[in-house]
Structure 1
Amino acid sequence: MAMPEPAATGGTSAEPGKCVPPARPEVERLKAYSAPLEGRRGMLRLDFNENTIGPSPLVAQVLRNFSTEEIAVYPEYDGLREALVQNLLETGCRPGLLPEQVGLFNGIDAAIHAVFQAYGSAGETLLTTSPTFGYYTPCAGMQGMTIEAIPYQGETFDFPLAAIQEALAARAPRLLLICNPNNPTGTRLPADQLIALAASAPGSLVVVDELYEAFTGDSVLPCADFTATPNLLVFRSLAKTAGLAGLRIGFAIGHADVVDRVSRVTGPYDVNSVAVAAAFAALADQPYVDAYVAEVLRARDWTLEALRQAGVRHHCAGGNYLLIWPQRPVAEVDGALRREGILIRPMAGKPLIDGCFRVSIGTTSQMQRFMAAFLPLER
């Protein structure tokens, strides 16, 4: 029996009468995660929670001095894990962390993908929350996993702790993935409760995505004991605070055996030499990162007060972003701000928050520019 031709997914069509070879059934059913990344140059980018001023001058200097010889050879990672461990210890991580407990990845997206490849199988369950970072779902779908997404609660989007505990006890999911603080709601769960969740479910890999923890100080690393809870894995990145989003480098931190298994499904040179050099420089300039985070927190306070005074509905609980419910349709506000050179992220179709938009928090002057363009739209 002839196999039906799969639905078009972009690219060049096959010649008439010829069939494109189908991918795995899980991939054929998959809706790929995509983000509108084109047309952003020269704009005030408040749409993807990036560092809005750029990396440390040390990073810029390293990139300017990067040699053609370094470009021509495969990357070397000697010392990078040690540098990250030292940075983590200096910023409050529990003593005793070893370099073999750190995995290197081509951005956190690659780390997420690797976790699902290493631990997720068809028919098994991913337990997570909703709404949350959109890339978890397609990664689970690639493996044919069942997704159980428990919604945040109420107008303040409280963490559904009791429901998560019940699901862990009743269904023993293969993976529990929690973004903390959560993107986009900012919802936070204290470190001791996250560790307790891992301790209660030794058969589940509990992954805590901490890309935004620097803006709240909610990390589990100061109190995590990976010997006692070897099923706990933590994601960190240099994208949101150190300004290396364009170079793609992320870390997974946990028990050495878990890090080893997640790393097995990656390529030997997935992290490129330029990213490695930039990471060394960024880790060597923690005061720059601290100063940027402090400025974002000042700008957040200024923005929240301006929104309160203007009577604009908003929600901000953690991270370098907040949610705003405008009086006009979000698409109209998005278009008007884009014409002013400002980018935001509409939350259309997101459960619980459809009808609002997320705006990243930059510097105080950048947020003043945003508010000067946004508030007239509310009148």
Structure 2
Amino acid sequence: MTADERAPLADGEQVRAALRPDLRGRTAYGAPQLDVAVQLNTNESSYPVPPEVVADVLDRLGRDLVGLNRYPDREFTGLRQALVDYLALQSGVSLRPEQLWAGNGSNEVLQHLVQAFGGQGRTALGFTPAYSMHPIIVETLGTRWVDGQRDAQTFDLEIGSAVEQARAADPDLVFLCSPNNPTGTALPFESIEAVLAAAPRAIVVVDEAYAEFARPGTPSALELLEDHERLVVTRTMSKAFTLAGARLGYLAAHPALVDALRLVRLPYHLSTPTQTIAEVSLAHAEQLLSTVEAIKGQRDRLVTELAAMGLRPVPSDANFVLFGGLADAPTTWQALLEAGILVRDVGIPHHLRVTAGTPEEATAFLTAMAELLPEHLQSQPHRSTAPRQGATT
């Protein structure tokens, strides 16, 4: 039978009818991936992996690929130790290998946590605006999501409000971001410990995907692990390590919690090449992280120059800046795109988010913004964290 003789495909109605009812009508997560000159929308590093690191990865892979007939190390033993060594240097916190867990990006690590500690009849709490994958992972795994709120004017998570919301929700899981995405602000220890106390049976997850970019003096929740059995700190190698394409995320927690994740992970979930790339990259941590200070410099430049334009940037501990003061965020997003610059519309009225890239990329963005103003300025400044329908953060 030729292609022309085949019966036409049905319109998918039977598939849609078979889909889980709670998934019907949902849209898939996904930031735009567009081929433009300046891509500042997904908080990737604008700096390529150094040639020396590439060479070492290729050398190690050349030796490892011969053994791909065998399954990878299920316990990623070498990677665990490499992460322990890195965190000791980066944060000064001494951990044991049995406290570390890794996955294909921090989203898989978060998924493991919800699989193990969420589920039917259980509740997870997060504070909006925050990382939009938290509720997506929670709800698609059959867990009830409670959309807690931050201050509508400052985007801060005030301790008293967080405690009140945690007590009301009585959750099984709590998600905190520090630094927060998309606002860029870090949480003090007092807030984390207050939530732990207010949700006495919850696993409290502190998402530190952007920890390496925090301003001086900003502590890491890793320092709290020894005193809190229910605390989890998640991180990623996608941002500061310039390895978004490698897909390696990890967490640190109590050994008993890490052991529980073995119940839900798929067998041999971390491939040999993934483990190799991560281990070699951690051995080159100093070199890969050498761009962090340059990125922080451009981040602070964005805050200063956007404020000088009459916009309202939020001081950031991450590698991006959320800024408000726009008359219509989608209109400004489109105008920037037409100028060859891709930023992120996070769904907060009058706000956009821009990644801190190279000096040249920052200049291109700031020049384009200056040319768009004052026509795109908001005449009546007002902050709101209520997301537009269909938008994602």
Say whether the fold is shared (TM-score over 0.5). Answer: yes
AA aligned to 1:218 is P
Give the structure 1 partner of residue 3 of structure 2: none
- Does the 8 Å contact 1:195/1:224 carry over to 2? no
Give the structure 2 partner of residue 144 of structure 1: 142
**Percent same amino acid at aligned positions?**
28
Give the structure 2 partner of residue 22 of structure 1: 18
Give the structure 2 partner of residue 292 of structure 1: 291
- Does the 8 Å contact 1:56/1:242 carry over to 2? no
* Residue 192 (structure 2) aligned to one of 186, 191, 194: 194
DSSP-derived class of the 1:221 partner: helix
Give the structure 1 partner of residue 340 of structure 2: 341
Q: Does 1:376 align with 2:371?
A: yes
- Does the 8 Å contact 1:118/1:262 carry over to 2? yes
AA aligned to 1:69 is V
1:255-270 superposed matches below 5 A: 255-270=254-269
Q: Distance in 2 between matches of 1:370 and 1:73?
A: 48
* Residue 74 (structure 1) aligned to one of 57, 64, 71: 71
Query: CA 1:220–1:19 in 2, change beyond 3 Å: closer, same or farther?
Result: closer
Unpaired runs of 5+ in structure 1? 1-11
* Residue 367 (structure 1) aligned to one of 362, 365, 373: 362
* Residue 51 (structure 1) aligned to one of 21, 35, 45: 45
Give the structure 1 partner of residue 120 of structure 2: 122
Q: Distance in 1 between matches of 2:286 and 2:312?
A: 35
AA aligned to 1:27 is L
TM normalised by structure 2 equals: 0.83
AA aligned to 2:47 is I
Query: CA 1:288–1:197 in 2, change beyond 3 Å: closer, same or farther?
Result: same
DSSP-derived class of the 1:156 partner: coil
- Does the 8 Å contact 1:150/1:160 carry over to 2? no
AA aligned to 2:294 is E
Once the two structures are TM-superposed, the CA of residue 309 in structure 1 deviates from its matched residue by 2.2
AA aligned to 1:355 is H
> Does 271-280 or 55-64 show the bigger shift?
55-64
* Residue 164 (structure 2) aligned to one of 155, 166, 186: 166
Give the structure 2 partner of residue 184 of structure 1: 182
DSSP-derived class of the 1:74 partner: coil
For residues 248-292 of structure 1, what are the alpha-carbon distances to aligned partners after superposition, in whole Å with 9 as ceiling and x for unaligned?
111011011111212321112222222222211221123224421
Q: Distance in 2 between matches of 1:274 and 1:45?
A: 27
AA aligned to 2:292 is V
Q: Distance in 2 between matches of 1:321 and 1:74?
A: 38
- Does the 8 Å contact 2:31/2:42 carry over to 1? no
For residues 114-138 of structure 1, what are the alpha-carbon distances to aligned partners after superposition, in whole Å with 9 as ceiling and x for unaligned?
1111111223221110011111112
Query: CA 1:129–1:59 in 2, change beyond 3 Å: closer, same or farther?
Result: same
Give the structure 1 partner of residue 30 of structure 2: 35
Q: Distance in 1 between matches of 2:12 and 2:54?
A: 51
DSSP-derived class of the 2:225 partner: coil
Give the structure 2 partner of residue 8 of structure 1: none
Q: Distance in 2 between matches of 1:138 and 1:32?
A: 10
Q: Distance in 2 between matches of 1:212 and 1:335?
A: 27
Query: CA 1:186–1:19 in 2, change beyond 3 Å: closer, same or farther?
Result: closer
* Aligned CA-pair RMSD: 2.5
Query: CA 1:356–1:171 in 2, change beyond 3 Å: closer, same or farther?
Result: closer
* Residue 350 (structure 2) aligned to one of 349, 355, 373: 355
TM normalised by structure 1 equals: 0.86
1:216-231 superposed matches below 5 A: 216=214, 217-225=218-226, 228-231=227-230
Once the two structures are TM-superposed, the CA of residue 33 in structure 1 deviates from its matched residue by 3.9
Query: CA 1:45–1:204 in 2, change beyond 3 Å: closer, same or farther?
Result: same
Query: CA 1:32–1:290 in 2, change beyond 3 Å: closer, same or farther?
Result: same
> Does 230-239 or 193-202 show the bigger shift?
193-202
Once the two structures are TM-superposed, the CA of residue 378 in structure 1 deviates from its matched residue by 1.0
- Does the 8 Å contact 2:105/2:249 carry over to 1? yes
For residues 313-372 of structure 1, what are the alpha-carbon distances to aligned partners after superposition, in whole Å with 9 as ceiling and x for unaligned?
322332111122364533332233223332101123xxxx22311101112232112112
